Amino acid sequence: MLKLEKYQKGVDFFEKTALSVEQECSFVEFSDIDDATVRQERGDAMEDTKQSNKKFHMNILYVVWLLGLFLFLLVMGNWYCVKVYGGNLFYIAFGKNEVSAEEKVFLKERGTLIYGETLDSFPAQIYDPMMESENGFAIDLMNQLAWEMDTTIEFQPVIWADSFTLLENGTVDMIQISYSEERAEKYYLSAPIYRSKGVVFFAR
């Protein structure tokens, strides 16, 4: 009977030990699987992060490339306008002449300035019957000049043959004329506002 009890205790101890080992082995196996899954997930996350960073850097390079192209085209366009037309795009967009104190006194005393316009000088200035108003880049230039000098410029239609007489007697303050050395000695002339190419026709 005593031997049987010892034997039974030995069997129970063996079964408990075997169960503990089995549980431990199962736990270790589960832990290995869990670690592998975590490593896989971490690897996938790192790969996703790398792809996101790569995409972000590519987008930055693309934006920088577009900005560089835009600035290049802007500079080249401005160079062309300065060379061909004598106008600076940056000044047109952002520039504004500062009026001196002497000029401010003159403008205050003079009041409204009168621009004598010949309405048959396309494309500088012409009367638009559809709009029932003056039109042309010379008109736009006068409006811009009025804004820069903080004054008012009125337009008065004139006949070209009378424009110099009206300028000299003070009826008008400004007219549009072509440059010549003789005129430069007699009148104050601005820088050229446009350049025009023309030809002379001869009968055959």
Per-residue pLDDT tens over the stretch 39-60: 666 666 677 777 778 888 888 8
CA atoms of 204 and 197, how far apart (whole Å):
22
Q: Indicate whether 69 and 28 sit together in one domain.
A: yes
> Is 204 part of any domain?
no
| Res. 21 pLDDT band, cuts 50 70 90 | very low
pLDDT band at residue 2, thresholds of 50, 70 and 90? very low
Residue 141 located in a structural domain: yes
pTM: 0.49
Does 194 fall in a domain?
Answer: no
Of 95, 130, 153, the one marking the end of a domain is 95
Q: Domain range spanning residue 110?
A: 98-186
pLDDT at 30 over 50: no
Chain segment 118-171, per-residue pLDDT in tens = 877 777 777 777 767 777 778 888 888 888 888 889 888 888 888 889 999 989
**Structural domain contains residue 198:** no
Is 168 inside a domain boundary? Answer: yes
Is the pLDDT assigned to residue 192 strictly greater than 70?
A: yes
What's 107's domain CATH number? 3.40.190.10
Shared domain for 89 and 103, answered yes or no, is no
53 plus 20 within the same structural domain: yes
Pick 92 or 135 by higher pLDDT.
Answer: 135
Tell whether 129 and 112 lie within a shared domain: yes
**Amino acid at position 67, single letter:** L
Rounded Cα distance, 14 and 108, in Å: 117
Domain match, 30 and 6 both: yes
Q: Among 95, 121, 151, where does a domain finish?
A: 95
117 DSSP 8-state letter: E
Indicate if 121 and 174 belong to the same structural domain.
Answer: yes
Q: Are residues 169 and 180 in the same domain?
A: yes
Same domain, 67 and 111: no
Residue 1 and residue 77 in one domain? yes
| Residue 104 sits in the same domain as residue 151 | yes
Span 79-91, pLDDT tens digits: 887 777 666 777 7
Residue-wise pLDDT for 65-81, tens only, equals 999 999 999 888 888 87
Gap between the Cα atoms of 60 and 31, Å rounded: 43
Number of domains, the chain: 2
Classified as helix, coil or strand, 35 is helix
Q: What are the tokens at 112?
A: 């409204």
Apex 59 CA angle, 53 and 61, nearest 5:
105
Compute how many other C-beta atoms are within 10 angstroms of the C-beta atom of residue 118.
19
Assigned domain for 112 exists: yes
Tell me the pairing of strands 125-128 and 120-121. antiparallel
105 lies in the same domain as 160: yes
Judge if 13 and 89 occupy the same domain.
yes
The Cα-based distances of 136 to 66, 118, 127, 169, 182 in angstroms read: 35, 11, 8, 26, 27
pLDDT at 87: 67
